[in-house]
């Protein structure tokens, strides 16, 4: 075998030693070389023409404009879209909204920093979840004016005609370090705002405000008296509303319910089957489903059951007082 190889190599090199005289092989080397050089030159040319040899688009959010950058040309606005038509942008430190897929942008008369006032450490390239409504018929932004951290005025800026006219109303004054913020409307007239603030360690105050005139005036409801950190909340109609507590390592859902428009609050009983104890721990906002109420209870920030995103669906037939387990739902179903 070895002898065979050696013989083969000898023949190979003998043949090669005369490469310059062996025209086909010489042609082969030159042709291949030329093809490769031309191919790669073309490759380099096209590679440099490709715009996305830059950085990927994992997170297509508009970036804040840095101070030393002065745009010399009108900039393309990169919107964050909530559906095919409606979106917003915080580009250039301005809040702008569009109702026609970015053809026209309407500047919202508000300072960007006011949207993130209070206790908020997240990124400021997207609006805080739940702190705004952006629909064809109603657009609203919760914000805070803060002469100082412990003296904030919580306001809501809203429009009912897609930004032609804006209205502004005070929700509450002398508020301290707003953390959680949520605004929602059940119908044209009735809406709610849930805020929390004054957090010390894992305790804070939470407050609920209701409007019965489409957002012009807001009245605070009675306080739930719970000082845990609020996770979510909302109303299903003008009477029945919910507050869900526990954001850091919750062990069981702590859901409070009112059935008289916020006059009284009591803790709802969520019957967690033993096999789901310590798994489904954080209630989301209940909603009306057929003739009963339903709520998804998620796994909190640390859940790892079936990947951590599966939720438990619970049903209540007594206006939210007691909840019984219905089924597990995948994140896709829960988001429908």
Partner 1 sequence: MKQTSKKMNLIVGWILFILSIGVFFLQIGFLFFHERLQFEYIDNRLFYVFNMIFVICLFIAILLLLNLEKKWKVFGAVVVLIFMIPNITMIFQTNKEIKNIISVSPNFQHVLSLKENTKTGETYYYRSYFGILGRPKEKLPFQTNDRFKVDWLTDDIAAVTYKAKDKTVHQYIGTYGDRGTGISYYYVAAQIYGVWEGENARITNETEGLSVTVNGKTEIYKWDQVVQFGTLAIVLMKNNEAVWTIALNKDFNVEAAEKGETPGTILLYKATMGKTEPILLKRISSSM
CB of 93 to partner 1, least distance (A): 13
Residues in contact with partner 1, total (CB under 8 A)? 41
Report the 10 Å Cβ neighbour count for 217.
13
Token pair, residue 134, equals: 């952006």
Phi and psi torsions of 255, nearest 5°:
-110, 125
Is residue 30 at the binding interface for partner 1, with CB under 8 A as the rule? Answer: yes
Q: Among residues 97 and 229, whose Cβ is nearest to partner 1?
A: 229
User: The tokens of 320 are what?
Assistant: 């939210």
Question: What is the full DSSP assignment across 266-333?
Answer: EE-EEE--GGGTTTS-EE---EEETTEEEEEEE--TT--GGGTT-EEEEEESSTTSEEEEEEEE-HHH
With CB under 8 A as the contact rule, the residue among 3, 4, 24, 52 that binds partner 1 is 52
The sign of the dihedral angle between the CA atoms of 51, 54, 60, 64 is negative
Token couple for 49: 């023409």
| Closest distance of CB 1 from partner 1, Å | 21
Among 8, 47, 101, 188, binds partner 1 (CB under 8 A): 47
Who's near 233: CB < 8 A, 6+ residues apart?
182, 194, 206, 208, 241, 242, 243, 244, 285
Assess 1 for contact with partner 1 (CB under 8 A).
no
Among 1, 2, 23, 201, binds partner 1 (CB under 8 A): 201
Cross-sheet strand order for the sheet of 132-134: 132-134, 139-148, 151-159, 167-175
Please say which residue, 249 or 317, places its beta carbon nearer to partner 1. Answer: 249
Per rule CB under 8 A, is residue 6 in the interface with partner 1? no
Considering the complex, what minimum distance in angstroms separates the CB of residue 92 from partner 1?
13
Long-range contact pairs involving 37-43 (C-beta distance under 8 Å, separation at least 24):
none
Contact with partner 1 (CB under 8 A): which of 1, 2, 23, 55? 55
Interacting span for partner 1 (CB under 8 A) from 62-70, 152-160, 187-195, 288-296: 62-70
Tell whether residue 63 is a contact of partner 1 (CB under 8 A): yes
Residue 70 binds partner 1 (CB under 8 A): no
Residues 217-246 that bind partner 1 (CB under 8 A): none
Q: Which of 2, 20, 24, 73 binds partner 1 (CB under 8 A)?
A: 20
Handedness of CA 280, 285, 288, 291 (dihedral sign): positive
Q: What residue has token string 């209940």? A: 286
Q: How many other C-beta atoms lie within 10 A of the C-beta of residue 120?
A: 17
Q: Rounded to an integer, what distance in angstroms lies between the CA atom of residue 116 and that of residue 61? A: 17
Distance of alpha carbon 192 from alpha carbon 185, whole angstroms: 6
Segment lying near partner 1 (by CB under 8 A), choices 56-64, 80-88, 139-147, 235-243: 56-64
Q: Which of 26, 101, 266, 306 forms a contact with partner 1 (CB under 8 A)?
A: 26
Q: With binding defined as CB under 8 A, does residue 17 bind partner 1?
A: yes
Q: Which is nearer to partner 1, 61 or 269 (CB)?
A: 61
Is residue 129 within the footprint of partner 1 (CB under 8 A)? Answer: no
- Please give the residue ranges that form the binding site for partner 1 (CB under 8 A): 13, 16-17, 19-20, 26, 29-30, 32-33, 36-37, 39-41, 43-44, 46-48, 50, 52-56, 58-59, 63-64, 66, 69, 121, 123, 201-202, 247-249, 302, 304
């Amino acid at each position: 075998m070895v002898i065979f190889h050696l013989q083969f190599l000898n023949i190979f090199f003998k043949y090669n030693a005369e490469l310059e005289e062996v025209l086909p092989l010489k042609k082969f080397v030159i042709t291949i070389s030329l093809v490769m050089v031309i191919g790669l030159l073309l490759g380099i040319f096209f590679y440099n023409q490709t715009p996305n040899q830059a950085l990927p688009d994992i997170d297509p959010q508009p970036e804040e404009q840095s101070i030393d950058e002065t745009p010399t040309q009108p900039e393309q606005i990169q919107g964050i879209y909530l559906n095919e038509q409606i979106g917003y942008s915080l580009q250039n430190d301005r809040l702008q909204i569009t109702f026609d897929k970015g053809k026209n942008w309407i500047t919202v008369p508000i300072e960007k920093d006011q949207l993130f006032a209070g206790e908020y450490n997240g990124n400021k390239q997207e609006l805080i979840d739940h702190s705004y409504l952006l629909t064809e018929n109603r657009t609203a932004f919760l914000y805070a004016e803060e002469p100082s951290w412990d003296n904030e005025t919580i306001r809501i800026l809203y429009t009912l005609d897609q930004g032609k006219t804006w209205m502004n109303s005070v929700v509450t004054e002398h508020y301290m370090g707003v953390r959680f913020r949520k605004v929602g409307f059940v119908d044209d007239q009735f809406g709610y705002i849930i805020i929390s603030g004054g957090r010390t360690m894992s305790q804070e105050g939470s407050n609920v405000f209701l409007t019965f005139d489409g957002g012009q005036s807001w009245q605070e409801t009675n306080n739930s008296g719970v000082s845990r950190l609020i996770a979510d909340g909302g109303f299903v109609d003008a009477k029945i509303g919910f507050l869900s507590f526990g954001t850091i390592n919750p062990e069981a859902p702590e859901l409070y319910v009112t059935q008289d428009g916020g006059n009284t609050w009591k803790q709802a009983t969520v019957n967690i089957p033993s096999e789901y104890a310590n798994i489904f721990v954080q209630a989301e906002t209940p909603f009306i489903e057929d003739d009963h109420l339903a709520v998804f209870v998620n796994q909190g920030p640390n859940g790892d059951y079936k990947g951590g995103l599966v939720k438990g669906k619970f049903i209540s037939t007594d206006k939210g007082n007691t909840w019984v387990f219905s089924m597990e739902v995948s994140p896709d179903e829960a988001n429908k």
